[in-house]
Amino acid sequence: MRRIVPTVATAIALIIAVASPAGAVPQTIPNGPWVQERQHVSLERLHNYEEMVAKLQQISQSTQGRVSLEVVGQSNEGRDLYLARVGTGPTKVLYITQQHGNEPLGTEAALQLLQRAGKGGAGWNAILSQITLLVIPKVNPDGAERFQRENHDPDCAGAFCNPGVGFDVNRWHDPAVAPEANPVPEAAAVQRTFARYQPSFVVDYHHQGSYVSDDGDLITGSIFWPNAAGVPASSIALSRQVCVLIYDTMSHYGFAEQGVILSRMQPGLSTFYVLDDGSAHLDAWTEARQRNAAEYTRLIGDAGLADTVVPPAVLAGHRHIFNQYVIRVPRRDELRKHLTDEGIGTEVYYPVPLHLQECFAYLGAKPGDLPNCEKSAGEVLAIPIYPELTPPQQERIADTILPDTGTPGARAAGVGPGLAGPPSPCERHRGRAPAAWPTGPSR
C-alpha cells in the first residue's frame, strides 16, 4: 500500500530553510526584521538563475561527476529546471526549493548541501551509501527573477491563480491532476520527477512568515503533519512521529523556537511524503534499533564497565524503541572528541538541563539547584543506533569506546589503565575498518 504523509520541515545547519508561507503581517514595522510589500530587498549575495546554473555545473565538475545534473523540465518562460543527483543508496530522497520565487534561502542551502555531499568524506560516504539525494533547486525561476511568490503566467486563470501575475506552483501537486494536464509547467516537472524516481521521501522547503509564540519569542521554524480530508489515520500517526523527531532534533540547539501549523491542508499542497507501508517499516526499524541496543549493552557488560560506561536502562514490562542510545561517561566531552576524531558521529541530548534553559528563567533556578540533573547533562552521549548500522560498524564503535588496557577511548571515558577491566570484546576487530564509517547518533 502507498501511504502519503505530508509535513513541512525546517533544517538549520546543512540545510538552512524555514517552513510555511512567506510575507509580512500588516502591523510589522518597516525596516524591521520583516520584509514589507514595497520594501527594497538587496539580493546581490544570492544566486540568480544564471549564477545558480553555473554553480551547479561547477559543483558537478569539481566533484568529478559525483553530483550529476539533468534537465527535468522548463519553466513557463522556458528556463531549464535542473535535477542534481548524488549518492548510490536504495532510499531516494527528493528535496525541492523555491517553489515560491520570493523564498530564496532554501536554494542557497541546497547548493551548499550539494557541494558538501559531493566532496564526500567518511560521514557523507556512509550517508550516501544508504540514500540517493535528488535536489530540484529553484523550482520557480521565473518568479525568483521577479522576487514574487507565483510563477510568471499573467494569462493564468482558475484555481490558485493571481490574475495578471501567475500560479502558486506549490498548490498544483494534486495526484488527481496528471502532469500533461497540469497548467503549471514547474509543478508538472516535479510530478514527472516524482513518477520517474519514486522517492521514499519528498521534502519541500519554504520560508517562515512573521509570528511569535505566546511568550513573545520569534518562531524560527514550523512543522506540518497532514490533516487534509481523506488522509488515513495511520499516515497522520506516522507523520506526527516524524514531526516529533524534527522537533526533538531542532530544539536542543537552543536557537530554534519551533511552532506547529494546524491549518487545514488541501490534497495538492506539496510537502513531505513517505511511501510504502510506513507501519511495517517502523516495526522493522524499531526491531533493528532494539537489536543494536542489546548488542551495545552486552558489549559494555562483557567488558565489566557498566558502572563507568553506563548504558540506558529499560524498565521491566516496558518497551524501548531506542530512537537514541545514550550512554553516560564521566568525561563526556573528551570521549566525544575522540569519537569524532575516529569518524564516529555523536550527539548530546541535552547539554542544558530544563531548569537552566532560558525559557524557564522566570522560575529563578540557578546552577547547583538540581545537582543530579546537571551531572547527567554533563555525562550523556548518544552514539550511532540507526537501523542500518552493520555489525562491523557497531563493533568498531564499541571498540573505540571500550578499553582494553587504557586506550584513548578508555582514558577519554574516564577509565584509566588500572580500571580498564577485561579486553574489549571487539578487540579482534581492531584495525579492520567497516565497509562504511558510521555517522550520526540516531540516523
Considering the domain boundaries, does residue 1 fall inside one? no
Alpha-carbon distance 128 to 119, whole Å? Answer: 11
Alpha-carbon distance 221 to 168, whole Å? Answer: 22
pLDDT at residue 75, rounded to an integer: 97
Q: How many domains does the chain have?
A: 2
Q: Pairing state of beta strands 91-97 and 161-162?
A: unpaired
Alpha-carbon distance 381 to 397, whole Å? Answer: 13
pLDDT at residue 268, rounded to an integer: 47
Q: Over the stretch 112-149, which tens digit does the pLDDT of each residue have?
A: 999 999 998 768 888 898 899 999 999 999 999 999 99
Considering the domain boundaries, does residue 31 fall inside one? no
- Domain end: 276, 294, 326, which one? 276
Q: Are residues 102 and 160 in the same domain?
A: yes
- Domain end: 240, 259, 276, which one? 276
pLDDT at residue 30, rounded to an integer: 42
Q: Are residues 267 and 411 in the same domain?
A: no
pLDDT at residue 291, rounded to an integer: 93
Q: Are residues 250 and 301 in the same domain?
A: no
Q: Are residues 249 and 366 in the same domain?
A: no
Q: Are residues 267 and 359 in the same domain?
A: no
Q: Are residues 333 and 190 in the same domain?
A: no
Q: Is the pLDDT of residue 272 over 70?
A: no
Reduced 3-state DSSP string for the chain: CCCCCCCCCCECCCCCECCCCCCCCCCCCCCCCCCCCCCCCCCCCCCCHHHHHHHHHHHHHHCCCCCEEEEEEECCCCCEEEEEEECCCCEEEEEEECCCCCCCHHHHHHHHHHHHHHHCCHHHHHHHCCEEEEEECCCCHHHHHHCCCCCCCCCCCCCCEECCCEECHHHCCCCCCCHHHCCCHHHHHHHHHHHHHCCCEEEEECCCCCCECCCCCECCEEECCCCCCCCCHHHHHHHHHHHHHHHHHHHCCCCCCEEECCCCCCCCCCCCEECCCHHHHHHHHHHHHHHHHHHHHHHHHHCCCCCCCECCCCCCCCCCCCCCEEEECCCHHHHHHHHHHCCCCCECCCCCCHHHCHHHHHHCCCCCCCHHHHHHHCCEEEECCCCCCCHHHHHHHHHHHCCCCCCHHHHHCCCCHHHCCCCCCCHHHCCCCCCCCCCCCCC
Q: Are residues 255 and 296 in the same domain?
A: no
- Count Cβ atoms within 10 A of the Cβ of residue 335 and give its class: 0-12 exposed, 13-18 middle, 19 or more buried: buried
Give the domain range for residue 191. Answer: 49-276
Q: Are residues 189 and 208 in the same domain?
A: yes
pLDDT at residue 253, rounded to an integer: 60
* Residues near 347 by beta carbon (within 8 Å), at least 6 away in sequence: 324, 381, 382, 440, 441, 442
The rounded mean pLDDT for the chain is 76
Set of cell numbers at residue 223: 512543522
pLDDT, mean of residues 1-26: 33
The radius of gyration computed from the CA coordinates of the chain, to the nearest angstrom, equals 24
Considering the domain boundaries, does residue 132 fall inside one? yes
Considering the domain boundaries, does residue 256 fall inside one? yes
Q: Are residues 302 and 385 in the same domain?
A: yes
Contacts 24+ apart (CB under 8 A), 25-28: 25/209, 25/210, 25/211, 28/210
Q: Is the pLDDT of residue 234 over 80?
A: no
Alpha-carbon distance 333 to 316, whole Å? Answer: 31
Q: Pairing state of beta strands 161-162 and 166-167?
A: antiparallel
Alpha-carbon distance 387 to 260, whole Å? Answer: 28
* Confidence class for position 42, pLDDT limits 50, 70, 90: low
∠ CA(392), CA(398), CA(401), 5° rounding?
A: 145
Q: Over the stretch 71-91, which tens digit does the pLDDT of each residue have?
A: 999 999 999 999 999 999 998
Q: Are 173 and 270 in contact (CB under 8 A)?
A: yes
pLDDT at residue 83, rounded to an integer: 98
Q: Over the stretch 323-355, which tens digit does the pLDDT of each residue have?
A: 889 999 988 999 999 998 888 888 888 889 989
* Confidence class for position 257, pLDDT limits 50, 70, 90: low
- Of the candidate ranges 197-201, 395-399, 406-410, the one whose mean pLDDT is the lowest: 406-410
**Residue 327: which CATH number?**
3.90.1150.10
At 274, phi and psi to the nearest 5?
Answer: -120, 125
Beta bridge partners of 202: 94, 273
Most confident region among 22-31, 114-123, 163-172 by mean pLDDT: 163-172
Q: Are residues 131 and 207 in the same domain?
A: yes
Q: Is the pLDDT of residue 92 over 50?
A: yes
- The pTM score is 0.56
Q: Are residues 253 and 290 in the same domain?
A: no
Phi-psi region of 44 (alpha: psi -120 to 50; beta: other; left: phi over 0): alpha
Q: Are residues 100 and 182 in the same domain?
A: yes
pLDDT, mean of residues 393-422: 55
* Confidence class for position 37, pLDDT limits 50, 70, 90: low
**Residue 207: which CATH number?**
3.40.630.10
